[in-house]
Structure 1
Amino acid sequence: MESFLNWEYMPLIPPLLTLLLVIVTRKVGISLGAGIITSAFVIANGHFGEFFRLVFDSFIAIFIEDGGLNTWNAYILIFLTLLGIMTAFMNMSGGARAFTNWALTKVKSRRGAGLMTAVLGIIVFIDDYFSALIVGQVAKPITDKYKISRAKLAYMVDTTASPVAVMMPVSSWGAGIMGLTAPLLVAAGTTNISPFQSFMYMVPMNFYVISAIIMMFIVVIFKFDIGPMRKQEELAINEGILRDKVPEFAEQEDELPVHEGSGATALIVPIIALAVTVVIAMYITGALEGGSWSVFSVMENTLITHSLVAGGIVGLILTMFYYFKHTKGDDDFSGRHILLGIKTGFLAMFPAMLVLTFAWMIGGLISELGTGELLGAMVESSSLPVELLPGVIFIVACIMAMATGTSWGSFGILIPVAGEIIISLGETELLLPSVAAVLAGAVFGDHCSPISDSTILSSTGSGSDHIVHVMTQLPYAVISALIGLVGFIILGMTANVMLALTGVLAGLIVVFIIVKFMYRPVTKQNT
């Protein structure tokens, strides 16, 4: 037993078991629970006393860190609660309905509703969490009206959250990536290139992200619904069922009254105020933490979760202002509806908070297992031809992020490993391509992992069942990843970014030709 538990590849078993259970059972709670139990059992080496301590400690670590409050996790849960309550009161004030009616005068088709969502996701690039939650909340009434399934909405939201943030230098991601890349540039002797320049050089090398975003527009414009997504769209178009499976932990919501005669400002003003407050708070907290008011110093040191809570508080205050303004003379509303709105808003977000808690627990245990370090060591010890390293690093980053559920964890482990390999081989021209491969693979794995927090939040913001979202997004992500892999292989062999981009675009053109001339979109069936 002991020798089995010390088996070299044992750290890979718990995350792989979790992924397998998700696919087989399609129940995220059971799958994450099994992953938590298995991870703790392996770490404890079969000792039950240690096992129970690890499970308890992994839960406590979500809220308590180094003897103090873990503000990152706690503030995300607080922001989710604030956003849920905001949504409930925006519905009751009539703001959401008025906004939908206004937007319907601008958006005239299902394709238009999809394009609006995609463009909105690209515009809101400051942070992936913020984008995942806000874009889904704003777009949901419009996509619902045009019978776009919640799964497709979640796919569009997720495809423009992390992918856009990872390509923008002025984002919470951009600054962090520059901070990880800077030591490698010094070690490689390429001090003539600044971290900012290196980041911009890597943008056109992020082949998965480029492919995924273009793929999303092909899906929206040409109604390219494949695999499980086709079933969801058929249900939405023909039966008006926007989600065939409610979230696993969902409650029966109380029916909220809706005030008639409100204006769209009851939704627009609180959302804009929330967004503006988040940006201002990010700048202020970044400047105070970093001691500098320069944009890149600010983005590197910003406290995103503090900023989200600040924005949520301002947004909720304005939401309540409009609620009281519009309902004060309405006899259908009373004091009990305030408590009903708070209760409904909290319960609407509770499933996401529960899944996030499980995901954070298994993420901490997988980190203690050393799964990421094992995968990184496998790359480092490989004797593959150097030309294939960007492609191999991309594949390993895909697997690592899928297993661990975190892009940032993959960044932190694999960027230094990839840099060390390239520098030791003296192939410095492949340094940035290899780092770009890490970034691309980590975003893919994040998209496909049921324990990824940004993917969970995309499901939450869109009102989609989480596992349905993961499974419907998977085919598009895999196609984009295969096209991206071709790009990294070409880049490794030629060190020519334009040639590699041409290969990626060629793959997308093949997809376009298939969709345009061979694919039959879902249509309304006559009954």
Structure 2
Amino acid sequence: MNSNPTVSAGPLTQNHRQNLSQKTRWILFYSAIMAGFGYLSTQYADSGNFGFISIMPAILTLCVAVYSKRSLEAIFAGIIAGLILLNPMEVVTGLGDLSINVVMNETIAWIVLVCGMMGGLINILERGGSVVSFGEILARRIKTKRGTMLTTCSLGIMVFIDDYLNSLAVSASMKTLTDKYKISREKLAYLVDSTAAPVCILVPISTWAVYFAALLEENGATESGKGMSLYIESIPFMAYGWVALLVVFLVAAGVIGNLGAMKQAEARAQKGETVPPGVAQDGFDTSKIKKVSPMVGLINFLLPMAVLVGASVYYEIDLLLGALTASLFTMVLYYWQSLLNFGQMVDSMLDGFKVMLHPIAVVCAGFMLKDVNDQLGMTPYIIESITPYLSKELLPALVFAVMAAVVFATGSSWGVFVVSLPIVIPIAQTIDMSMPLTVGALLSASAFGSHACFFSDSTVLSAQGSGCTSMQHAWTQIPYALLGSVFAFIAFLVLGFAFA
């Protein structure tokens, strides 16, 4: 009887030693990488001009993300590497300063509150039975897998006011139906994400339009008060938005098949495993749903959505105030119908916040990485490196390619343009390039970066709402995003020569 433990202890000990040895090798490997960054710091930190070295933390982030398939850990690897470059002796201090700056950043505070409020609102809608009712009514009218995907894309276009709203609301309302037709959560996330930022830039009544119109005025791209007019003139030239929209509908219609990692995801879904492995929680908790008639449930779903959109527009495209108004309206509506009591609704809001903690952490870490890249001077270095090669004909295509790469590396589809616009706009004005075309190239780059980056806000939220990780979503989506970027680049080459 004593022999069994003795026999089994050998392999366990051997496995333990192998795991320990593997962990030791990885610790030594990462330590060597960080030591390399420490050495580079001694060569460049004193001059403050990092040059090509400024892009190394972003490259490390991408490499770790590709290998580990984990976004938060990859971002922090890049942050630590960047802080070592800046000052190896003050890494902990620098990390603390970055954390404080993120917490005090008004944009970050807005994102945290919006994501939390949206998560809470959707959780109330689900626990009140509204999302299920909406899915049941759609299921009566949609009888095919293709119809389900086309409906998802169409809903994404209808919810054009903000990419956050699109990413969370559409994915939550379509999960039941896509599961029924064995559509993987990765495919759902792609369909939702492709109608988020790419659509928002094409609609002048959106958070993107309001933000960039003000930014264009501040940087002298147009006269004061005419920023929105310039934005509207630029919409026909936002090539990536149009191409991404065309590609996603072709994918939904079955004209473009499954590419890259999407093949494996869809093959797994066809076996009935629509939720990918490694997902700790499949979206929001729906275990306590109260049954209501489909029509009442539909009304209970559409009314809060209408209030959300209407209130956001009323408050000058502010999704935070829209989400707050819609949440209060929904709580009163559901309490009046006795669907949920006050305590249950408060619990639903808090649980919605909890579900959003990981995507919020990824977005906050992305802002910390952007701050490090700004201190290293990455964006100005990249722009200055391509300036000697600019010409009137090549300006739109090069602006799109370079800024798309910068946004992809930083994950900040809005923040980098505060730095880049003061450089790009004067160049366009100096060589007398069409300003709507230049703005179209910039907004296309922003949309691509938001669409393709594995830790951008819309990517993270689309994955969270659909029930997969951000890396699973990004890895299956990247072939389609790259396809769209290639066609957009060609379009800007043609437009550059046409308007030169």
Measured in 2, the distance between the counterparts of 1:373 and 1:228 equals 34
Question: What corresponds to 1:398 in structure 2?
Answer: 404
Q: Tell me, yes or no, if structure 1 residue 46 matches structure 2 residue 78.
A: no
Question: What corresponds to 2:259 in structure 1?
Answer: 226
Measured in 2, the distance between the counterparts of 1:83 and 1:186 equals 34
Measured in 2, the distance between the counterparts of 1:402 and 1:83 equals 25
Cα deviation, residue 311, structure 1: 2.7
Measured in 1, the distance between the counterparts of 2:53 and 2:199 equals 35
Which of 186, 189, 193 aligns to 1:154? It is 189
Measured in 2, the distance between the counterparts of 1:320 and 1:80 equals 23
Question: What corresponds to 1:55 in structure 2?
Answer: 95
Q: Tell me, yes or no, if structure 1 residue 30 matches structure 2 residue 73.
A: yes
Residue pair 2:156, 2:166 contacting (<8 A) in 1 also? yes
Which deviations, in whole Å up to 9, do the C-alpha atoms of 1:112-161 show, x marking residues without a partner? 11111111111111111122211212222222222211111111111111
Partner SS, residue 126 of structure 1:
coil
Cα deviation, residue 479, structure 1: 0.8
Which of 102, 125, 137 aligns to 2:172? It is 137
Residue pair 2:178, 2:188 contacting (<8 A) in 1 also? yes
Q: CA 1:266–1:431 in structure 2 vs 1: closer, same or farther (change >3 Å)?
A: same
- With 19-28 and 173-182 compared, the bigger mean Cα shift is at 173-182
Residue pair 2:240, 2:444 contacting (<8 A) in 1 also? yes
Using the size of structure 1 for normalisation, the TM-score is: 0.78
Q: CA 1:200–1:143 in structure 2 vs 1: closer, same or farther (change >3 Å)?
A: same
Measured in 2, the distance between the counterparts of 1:9 and 1:87 equals 44
Residue pair 1:18, 1:35 contacting (<8 A) in 2 also? yes
Q: Tell me, yes or no, if structure 1 residue 376 matches structure 2 residue 418.
A: no
Matches within 5 A, 1:256-271: 256-266=287-297, 268-270=299-301
Residue pair 2:115, 2:164 contacting (<8 A) in 1 also? no
Letter in 2 for 1:433: L
Which deviations, in whole Å up to 9, do the C-alpha atoms of 1:235-276 show, x marking residues without a partner? 112x111122344x6599878234345445346425532442
Residue pair 2:160, 2:196 contacting (<8 A) in 1 also? yes
Question: What corresponds to 1:279 in structure 2?
Answer: 310
Measured in 2, the distance between the counterparts of 1:267 and 1:54 equals 50
Measured in 1, the distance between the counterparts of 2:124 and 2:229 equals 45
Which of 421, 425, 428 aligns to 2:427? It is 421
Using the size of structure 2 for normalisation, the TM-score is: 0.82
Which of 453, 459, 463 aligns to 1:455? It is 459
Q: Tell me, yes or no, if structure 1 residue 128 matches structure 2 residue 152.
A: no
Measured in 2, the distance between the counterparts of 1:463 and 1:268 equals 25
Question: What corresponds to 1:164 in structure 2?
Answer: 199
Q: CA 1:91–1:124 in structure 2 vs 1: closer, same or farther (change >3 Å)?
A: closer
Q: Tell me, yes or no, if structure 1 residue 441 matches structure 2 residue 448.
A: no
Residue pair 2:132, 2:173 contacting (<8 A) in 1 also? no
User: How many pairs were matched up?
Assistant: 456
Partner SS, residue 160 of structure 1:
coil
Residue pair 1:414, 1:438 contacting (<8 A) in 2 also? no
- With 8-17 and 353-362 compared, the bigger mean Cα shift is at 353-362
Structure 2 stretches lacking a partner, 5+ long: 1-38
Cα deviation, residue 91, structure 1: 3.8
Matches within 5 A, 1:339-350: 341=348, 344-350=351-357
Residue pair 2:311, 2:325 contacting (<8 A) in 1 also? no
Percent of pairs with identical residues: 27
Question: What corresponds to 1:471 in structure 2?
Answer: 475
Q: CA 1:79–1:424 in structure 2 vs 1: closer, same or farther (change >3 Å)?
A: closer
Q: CA 1:383–1:81 in structure 2 vs 1: closer, same or farther (change >3 Å)?
A: closer
Partner SS, residue 288 of structure 2:
coil
Partner SS, residue 408 of structure 1:
coil
Q: CA 1:184–1:490 in structure 2 vs 1: closer, same or farther (change >3 Å)?
A: farther
Which of 240, 243, 248 aligns to 2:275? It is 243
Partner SS, residue 168 of structure 1:
coil
Cα deviation, residue 185, structure 1: 6.4
Cα deviation, residue 282, structure 1: 4.2
Measured in 2, the distance between the counterparts of 1:193 and 1:64 equals 30
Letter in 2 for 1:46: P
Residue pair 2:130, 2:300 contacting (<8 A) in 1 also? no
Residue pair 1:41, 1:51 contacting (<8 A) in 2 also? yes
Residue pair 2:150, 2:252 contacting (<8 A) in 1 also? yes
Q: CA 1:131–1:186 in structure 2 vs 1: closer, same or farther (change >3 Å)?
A: closer
Letter in 1 for 2:62: L
Residue pair 1:278, 1:310 contacting (<8 A) in 2 also? no
Residue pair 1:79, 1:312 contacting (<8 A) in 2 also? no
Q: CA 1:74–1:418 in structure 2 vs 1: closer, same or farther (change >3 Å)?
A: closer
Which deviations, in whole Å up to 9, do the C-alpha atoms of 1:202-252 show, x marking residues without a partner? 212111111110000110001621111111111112x111122344x6599
Q: CA 1:313–1:32 in structure 2 vs 1: closer, same or farther (change >3 Å)?
A: farther
Q: CA 1:424–1:267 in structure 2 vs 1: closer, same or farther (change >3 Å)?
A: same
Question: What corresponds to 2:151 in structure 1?
Answer: 116
Matches within 5 A, 1:84-103: 84-103=119-138
Q: CA 1:313–1:364 in structure 2 vs 1: closer, same or farther (change >3 Å)?
A: farther
Partner SS, residue 105 of structure 1:
helix
Q: CA 1:108–1:450 in structure 2 vs 1: closer, same or farther (change >3 Å)?
A: same
Partner SS, residue 437 of structure 1:
helix
Q: CA 1:240–1:224 in structure 2 vs 1: closer, same or farther (change >3 Å)?
A: same
Residue pair 1:403, 1:449 contacting (<8 A) in 2 also? yes
